[in-house]
Structure 1
Amino acid sequence: MSNLQQDPAIRSLLERMPKNVQTTFTDEQLAHLKIAIGARQWGNHAVDCRGVVKLFKYRYYYVLLAGRNRRELSTKEQKIARFTQALILSIAANFIILFILLVLYLFKSTLGIDIFEGYSFGVWSWFKGLFN
């Protein structure tokens, strides 16, 4: 089985054909089939937002696509993906921890508990000021 037959787009196309037809394609024919169906490769996405914006005499199009990545990733892409996931996870964890600390601090302040006698971080004053 050639590398082209392992390609997800080609595999999907071949699976919809009878077995005796699947085996008759040469690598050159498969390469041309891949080029021909390449434009349809980005099929269905969880988020698919497309439109056109007209500014003055020009029209600009925008496309926002998001969904599960079904491609085989290279080693470099896998490293970048792991780093990006770790970065996003650490930012989210820090945000959640800081938010919980803020809520706990505000709760402590509503009860009138002082951690340091005669010192305030100013968060409680700021929070009360939001509602005045």
Structure 2
Amino acid sequence: MDEDKTNGIKNDPFIRELLRKLPSEERDSFTDRQLLALKAALGARRRWGRHLIDIRGTIGLWRWRYYYVILGGRERRKLSRRQEQMLRSVKLAFLVGFLTFSSLLGLLIIYLVKSALGIDLIPGFSLGIWDWFKKNVL
């Protein structure tokens, strides 16, 4: 079965290109099995080259040139256990923050509507928000 996989491995375009980049005395030192392992390890990098956002360029400043790369897309790597826990914590913190902000904003809107309608739940007590809102916003 291994012979079927390795049959003609040196004719594979990826392996040909890899061997072309090596010094001539090293090219023949690899066994077919080693070449298959190299293809499996390095060939997987091809999918890394495809990103939803792929912006590359160079900037020349005086004598030097600098390059920049901006990549973005769906995460395909397997996260470690610690990274998964951190991601869950960040998601939870974001959710709690969003719910807190939304609740406070909702309470503020309800308070302003109540005050605009002249409803006084506790006679003689005011937070001063309605007075500030009338003075600065309306």
TM-score (ref. length: structure 1): 0.59
- Rg larger in structure: 2
In the other structure, the counterpart of 1:26 is 36
Deviation (angstroms), 1:66: 5.2
Does 2:63 match 1:87? no
Identity %: 36
Q: How many residues align?
A: 103
- Letter in structure 1 aligned against 2:49: R
CA distance in 1, matches of 2:76, 2:128: 49
Map 1:58-69 onto structure 2 (within 5 A): 67-69=73-75
Q: Taking structure 1 as reference, are residues 49 and 31 closer, same or farther at Cα in structure 2, changes over 3 Å only?
A: closer
5+ long unaligned stretches in structure 1: 1-24
CA contact (8 A) 2:58 2:68 kept: yes
Deviation (angstroms), 1:33: 2.4
Q: CA RMSD in A?
A: 3.4
- Letter in structure 2 aligned against 1:44: L
Q: Taking structure 1 as reference, are residues 65 and 95 closer, same or farther at Cα in structure 2, changes over 3 Å only?
A: farther
Structure number having the greater helix percentage? 2
Match of 1:118, SS?
A: coil
5+ long unaligned stretches in structure 2: 1-34
Instruction: Write out per-residue CA displacement over residues 59-113 of structure 1, whole angstroms, 9 at most, x where no aligned residue.
Output: 8877766544232211111101111110000000001100110010001101111
- Letter in structure 2 aligned against 1:29: K
Bigger relative contact order, structure 1 or 2, given CA contacts below 8 A and separation 6+? 1
Map 1:36-55 onto structure 2 (within 5 A): 37=46, 40-41=49-50, 43-45=51-53
